[in-house]
Amino acid sequence: MRAVQVGICGLGTVGSGVFNVLTRNLSCINNRSNCEINIRQIGARRDNPLCDTSNIDTTVDIFDVAKNPEIDILVELIGGTTVAYDLVMTALKNNKHVVTANKALIAEHGMEIFATAASRGLVVAYEAAVAGGIPVIKALREGLSANQVNWVAGIINGTTNFILSEMDNKGRDFNDVLAEAQEKGYAEADPTFDVEGIDAAHKLVILASIAFKMPLTLDGLFTDGITKLEPQDVAYARDLGYVIKHLGIARQTDQGVELRVHPTLVPQKSMIAGVNDVSNAVMINADAVGTTLFYGPGAGAEPTASSVIADIVDVARSIESSPESKVNALGSPISKLEQPTIIAIDEIETSFYMRFSALDKPGVLSDITKIMADSGISIEAIVQKEQPAGEDYVNVIIITNVTQERLLNTAVEHIENLETVRDTIKFIRVEHLDQ
């Protein structure tokens, strides 16, 4: 069997997972790759006590690995977009194939990286960059290659999904759950990347690029996090038959492509509503296949390693074949990608959940429903929630039918101007994901 030499850069959580799974399952991995895969060198600032690397050439300078003439595939697991970028570009310039789990790197520098790789007949594989152990890049790029994709919607950040699951199942407060998530290691000390939706945005851009044959770009993408979600909205949503999930949504419409990450009400009975804790799931709706869903662990050492090693196997197996016989990084060749119009958030069409506080007296609901009607918005449900004793105001919850967000904004403004309505109106988008 042909031998393929692998260099691993980074021996943190994912790196140790890759090292240990590859070592443990090497014989069946070799069978599946039709190669003998060797870990030729490891580049890491320090040892990881979880890995016995005593028989392996190690270096503290990861660029040694990128330049090592014996190495065929460099595995980038250091994260970030600065050193990792330099490392990957150095590896490519030294004619190494690259496997990475780095979503930020691919989302921000993917076009340059893929172009460099393509010009040298090299592969940059990145299954682990989206949805951890779920082979969704492969599913979308190869398994569904016959299709025109209509939309992709996914729970693609485990941290936010853990927080929302706890808020939903136990009625807990955002900050309270976040603190626990940090304690358990599900959330970083600085959780901004996760809870503000930036990590999900990186992953969504990658999925959208493959789905809609467009270059990778974060431009125009709308992002809203979960930090302002209140337990009462989670509870009201459930009363109305919905669950709140933090979704990345990319949709092709006649006007262009929607790219948005935000809390979303989804029907309780939908498959995606049942995705709890740190799990991820990606739904893909496409013209031939209809709706599919891919579910599994979105993070963790060994789930991520599963995807990293699957990429190593793919690259190793076909390492001697021609560039045209390999899967294009984004499905279609770079030259065929086209930038669509990215639809502004107030131009999107969806349903909405609205909550506000209104005086509990005759005529108030009629004023509100008149404003909605005048704005051209039809209402699916309107519910008035009992006020606590002695309180003059009640919570009013509305679920609208599908409407343009711009129309909703106008209605919101008019309702907020009513003297009978207190404070600002809270709204959350609703998706049925059934078409």
Residues that bind a copy of itself (CB under 8 A): 2, 17, 21-22, 24-25, 28-29, 31-34, 127, 133-135, 138-139, 141-148, 213, 269-271, 274-275, 286-297, 300, 302-303, 305-310, 313-314, 317-322, 324-328, 331-333, 336
Among residues 39 and 310, whose Cβ is nearest to a copy of itself? 310
Among residues 148 and 401, whose Cβ is nearest to a copy of itself? 148
Among residues 276 and 404, whose Cβ is nearest to a copy of itself? 276
Among residues 80 and 274, whose Cβ is nearest to a copy of itself? 274
Question: Nearest approach, Cβ of 310 to a copy of itself (angstroms)?
Answer: 5
Among residues 245 and 326, whose Cβ is nearest to a copy of itself? 326
**175 CB-near residues (< 8 Å, 6+ apart):** none
Question: Nearest approach, Cβ of 129 to a copy of itself (angstroms)?
Answer: 14
What DSSP string runs through 210-272? Answer: HHHT-----TT-EE--STT--HHHHHHHHHTTEEEEEEEEEEEETTEEEEEEEEEEEETTSGG
| Distance from C-alpha of 282 to C-alpha of 292, rounded to nearest angstrom | 8
Burial class from Cβ neighbours inside 10 Å (0-12, 13-18, 19+) for residue 285 reads: buried
Q: Which amino acid makes up residue 326?
A: K
SS (H, E, C) 370-408: HHHHHCCCCEEEEEEECCCCCCCEEEEEEEECCEEHHHH
**366 CB-near residues (< 8 Å, 6+ apart):** none
Question: Nearest approach, Cβ of 14 to a copy of itself (angstroms)?
Answer: 12
Question: Nearest approach, Cβ of 318 to a copy of itself (angstroms)?
Answer: 4
Smallest Cα–Cα separation from 323: which of 310, 313, 338, 334?
334
Among residues 319 and 418, whose Cβ is nearest to a copy of itself? 319
| Distance from C-alpha of 15 to C-alpha of 53, rounded to nearest angstrom | 12
Tokens of 295: 């579910």
Question: Nearest approach, Cβ of 243 to a copy of itself (angstroms)?
Answer: 12
Around Cβ 81, how many Cβ atoms within 10 Å? 15
Q: Which of 203, 213, 326, 426 is catalytic?
A: 203
Give Rg (Cα) of the chain.
24
Among residues 31 and 424, whose Cβ is nearest to a copy of itself? 31
Question: Nearest approach, Cβ of 321 to a copy of itself (angstroms)?
Answer: 4
Looking at residue 141, the DSSP 8-state letter turns out to be: I
Among residues 295 and 356, whose Cβ is nearest to a copy of itself? 295
Q: What are phi and psi of 51, to 5 degrees?
A: -120, 130
Question: Nearest approach, Cβ of 374 to a copy of itself (angstroms)?
Answer: 39
Task: Let me know if 203 is a catalytic residue.
Answer: yes
Distances (CA, A) of 391 to 129, 360, 395: 50, 9, 11
Q: What are phi and psi of 290, to 5 degrees?
A: 85, -140
Question: Nearest approach, Cβ of 296 to a copy of itself (angstroms)?
Answer: 4
Smallest Cα–Cα separation from 412: which of 361, 358, 356, 339?
356
In the block, residue with structure tokens 């919101």: 412
Check the CA dihedral 422-423-425-426 and report its sign: negative
Q: Which residues are identified as catalytic?
A: 203
